[in-house]
Amino acid sequence: MELLNDEYYMKLALQLAEGAAGQTGINPAVGCVLVKNGRIVGMGAHLKRGTPHAEIHALQMAGPEAEGSTAYVTLEPCSHYGKTPPCSDRLIKEKVKRVVVGCTDPNPVVAGTGIERLRQHGLEVTTGVLQEEACRLNEAFNKYIRTQQPFVTLKTASTLDGKIASRSGDSKWITNAESRAYVHTLRHRHQAIMVGIGTVLSDDPLLTTRLDVPALNPTRLIVDSGLRLPLGAKVVRDRSAQTIVLTTERADETKRRQLEQAGVLVWAAGAGPRVDLKRAMTLVGEHEISSVLLEGGGRLNGSMLEQGLIDKLLLFFAPKIIGGKDASGNFEFEGFERMQDAVRLERMTVRQFGEDVCIAGYPNYE
Ligand code: AOF
Ligand code: ZN
């Protein structure tokens, strides 16, 4: 990229933020670059909730060079006392001259007041630089901070005819190694991964992140109305991530205690025969999980979609047709009667992974 305008340094700040995406919990990923007299004097990223924000790391690196510099920050500097003090005050104190902002902070306690405070103290503020990229980076944060509900991304991997297994249940593998590696990156970037009990019973998956580099494992959420999760399942025995079973108040007490003794958390979502998925998502949010990667199977996908609980879809298609009228599909639910009632996706994009295709979109439930 040519060094022509504010976008150059904002891009760098975005790269710093992106590098740490997935490791900040319910906090946003944020990057900051400080520039003075044509050279970079400080760089920083927010690395972990409860630790200093991006601006503070960059200011620390710059030391006295911060005075008179321009700060490029992917997110509006905060103005509140959270787990750490306000970044806008620190930028003012260090006599930064100008601040360039990517996305304004949707956090209701900040929401423009950070920028306001900087301006009140005579700093020049430019907003909206690479705004779209900067805001998209924190989709989960943007929803969670306003609603306390997790952002749910559905990922499916199917044949071109929408099947997630053959009629005999074979599903290894549908998509190629490149697609599957990307899915592990997605696991690293989400706080939780969610599957239905059917998937656990048929595949006994581990649901951890396996990449060639060190990565984080998401918390495992298993939707299991009848508490059928076997004590010998990998998600119970493996301790490299917390497993949480979402069940109902009708769940068998003995089985619940056995699972808890094995280190599994059991949460009741509703008193009906099936897990109340809306209630389950509220519980997940209450426990400070802001992003969920939903990995099926077809029935859970269908129920989540039907209830408007999916925020984003990532549909991987392998160049294969398997057929089978009883073979499981991407979405298994009653379905809508009329085409005009179909869930429509917006902001569609297509990306290729070798010969596989990944279609991404955001459902509009209106
Ligand atoms: C920034 N720079 O790098 C980040 C910001 O509890 P705290 O103190 O960590 O505050 C969390 C809130 O601060 C978070 O909800 C969001 O509004 C903002 N995050 N702000 O100026 C940063 N990570
Ligand atoms: Zn801050």
The predicted-structure confidence for 86-119, as pLDDT tens digits, reads as follows 999 999 999 999 999 999 999 999 898 999 999 9
Question: For the residues 129-141, what does the mean pLDDT come to?
Answer: 97
Say yes or no to pLDDT of 282 above 80: yes
How many angstroms separate the alpha carbon of residue 124 from the centre of ligand 2? Answer: 18
326 vs 123, residue with greater confidence: 123
pLDDT for 278:
98
pLDDT for 3:
78
Question: For the residues 328-333, what does the mean pLDDT come to?
Answer: 94
pLDDT for 209:
97
The proportion of the chain whose per-residue pLDDT surpasses 90, expressed as a percent, equals 94
Say yes or no to pLDDT of 13 above 90: yes
Residues with CB under 6 A from ligand 1: 27-28, 30, 46, 49, 53-55, 75, 77-78, 82-84, 87, 105, 107, 110, 145
Ligand 1: atom nearest CA of 109 is: 17
Could you tell me the CA-to-CA distances from 356 to 46, 169, 186, 323 in Å, in that order?
34, 21, 17, 18
Ligand 1: atom nearest CA of 84 is: 8
pLDDT for 343:
95
Say yes or no to pLDDT of 188 above 80: yes
pLDDT for 83:
86
Say yes or no to pLDDT of 304 above 80: yes
Ligand 1: atom nearest CA of 54 is: 3
Question: For the residues 135-148, what does the mean pLDDT come to?
Answer: 97
For residue 249, indicate whether it is catalytic: no
How many angstroms separate the alpha carbon of residue 366 from the centre of ligand 1? Answer: 32
Q: What is the 3 state secondary structure string of the chain?
A: CCCCCHHHHHHHHHHHHHHCCCCCCCCCCCEEEEEECCEEEEEEECCCCCCCCHHHHHHHHHHHHHCCCEEEEEECCCCCCCCCCCHHHHHHHCCCCEEEEEECCCCCCCCCHHHHHHHHCCCEEECCCCHHHHHHCCHHHHHHHHHCCCEEEEEEEECCCCECCCCCCCCCCCCCHHHHHHHHHHHHHCCEEEEEHHHHHHHCCCCCCCCCCCCCCCEEEEECCCCCCCCCCHHHHCCCCCEEEEECCCCCHHHHHHHHHCCCEEEECCCCCCCCHHHHHHHHHHCCCCEEEECCCHHHHHHHHHCCCCCEEEEEECCCCCCCCCCCECCCCCCCCCHHHCCEEEEEEEEEECCEEEEEEEEECC
How many angstroms separate the alpha carbon of residue 215 from the centre of ligand 1? Answer: 23
pLDDT band at 353 (very low <50, low <70, confident <90, very high): very high
Interface predicted TM-score (ipTM) of this complex, two decimals: 0.92
Mean pLDDT of the chain: 96
How many angstroms separate the alpha carbon of residue 44 from the centre of ligand 2? Answer: 12
Question: For the residues 174-190, what does the mean pLDDT come to?
Answer: 97
Say yes or no to pLDDT of 1 above 80: no
Q: Which of 47, 78, 79, 147 to mutate to test the pocket of ligand 1 (most atoms within 8 A of CB)?
A: 78
For atom 13 of ligand 1, the residue with the nearest CA is 78
For atom 17 of ligand 1, the residue with the nearest CA is 107
Q: Which of 16, 24, 27 to mutate to test the pocket of ligand 1 (most atoms within 8 A of CB)?
A: 27
pLDDT for 82:
87
Ligand 1: atom nearest CA of 46 is: 3
Question: For the residues 202-230, what does the mean pLDDT come to?
Answer: 96
pLDDT for 84:
86
